[in-house]
Amino acid sequence: MSSAFELNGVTCRFGDLVAIDEVSLSIEEGEQVAFIGPSGSGKTTLIRLLNTTAVPNDGSLSVLGNAIADQSVESLRVLRSRVGTMPQHLGLVENLTAIQNVILGRGGQRSTLRSIRDLLVPSRGDTEKIHQLLERVGIEEKLFTTVSKLSGGQKQRVAIARALFQEPEILLADEPVSAVDPARARDTVRLLAELSRELGFTLCVSLHHLELAKEFFPRLIGLRHGRVVFDGAPDLLKDQQLESLYELTADEMMTDA
C-alpha cells in the first residue's frame, strides 16, 4: 500500500500561535483514522494541512505521493479534487436544492461552464447517480428539496452525499457530529466508517467525542497543543494518556479562565 499522507516535522503557525508543532506521521491508503483531542489542540489545522488549504511553515508534507512544496497552484487544485473535505459547518449553498449541492462535489473535476450547466440542467446520468447516493445516506425523497428546508441531520447527509459524488481517494471530515444530537452522531460516524470500507477511500475524521472514535476507528491519533501525544489502536490508549490528552493542569485552567 502507498501512503495517503506523509508528514515530516510539519509545523504550522498563525502569527504567534503554533497550531501544529513538528508533527511527523504517516497514514496509509485505505486506513480509518480519528484525530482526537480537546478543542484548540490542532485538529482542524491538521485537516486543513491535509487538504492543502493551509501550508506548513516548516517540515514536509506529501498527499497521495505528491510533495506539497513542489506543486503549482493548478496542480494543488487538481490534488484537492481527489481529496474530499466535509467542513464542520458543512458549507452547503442553503438556497440550492440537495441535488444541486451534491452535483458540486465533482466541480473540481469539471470546468466552470460545466458546473453552471450542472446547476441548471443536471445530466440524466448524474441525476441517477445522485439519487442512488441520497438513497444510500437515507434521504432519497429530498432530491429536489431546498437545503435550507432540511433538518441539521439531513443537511449533514447532503454534505456526505456531496463528498461521495466527488469519488475522493481520501475523505477528511472535521467534527462531523458537532451539530447533531448524540443518537444521530453515532449514526453519522458509523455511516462514514462503513462507506470508507465499502468504497475503499481513506477516512480521516476529527472527533471531540472519544467514545465514538474508540468504537469505529482502528487507529486514533491524539493531539494536544499541536503535538501528537498518542498514535495507535484504541485499546492501547491508557487512562493515563487520556488524562494527559484531556485534563487541564491547574496552571492551564488559570490561563484559560
Residues that bind another protein (CB under 8 A): 51, 53, 73, 77-85, 87, 89-96, 100, 104-105, 107-109, 112, 115-116, 119, 146, 148-149, 163, 166, 168
CB of 98 to another protein, least distance (A): 13
* Shortest reach from residue 95's CB to another protein, in Å: 6
Closest by Cα among 26, 16, 12, 18 to 59: 12
Return the number of the residue (41 or 51) whose C-beta is nearest another protein.
51
Which C-beta is closer to another protein: that of 21 or that of 174? 174
Which sign does the torsion angle of CA 110, 170, 36, 139 carry? Answer: positive
Q: Which is closer to another protein, CB of 34 or CB of 90?
A: 90
Shortest Cβ 68–another protein spacing (Å):
14
Distance CA 185, CA 192 (A): 11
Q: Which is nearer to another protein, 87 or 222 (CB)?
A: 87
Percent helix, percent strand, percent coil in the chain, to nearest 5: 45, 25, 30
Collapsing DSSP to helix, strand or coil, 212 comes out as helix
Shortest gap between Cβ of 165 and another protein (angstroms)?
Answer: 10
Q: Parallel, antiparallel, or unpaired: how do β-strands 66-67 and 227-232 relate?
A: unpaired
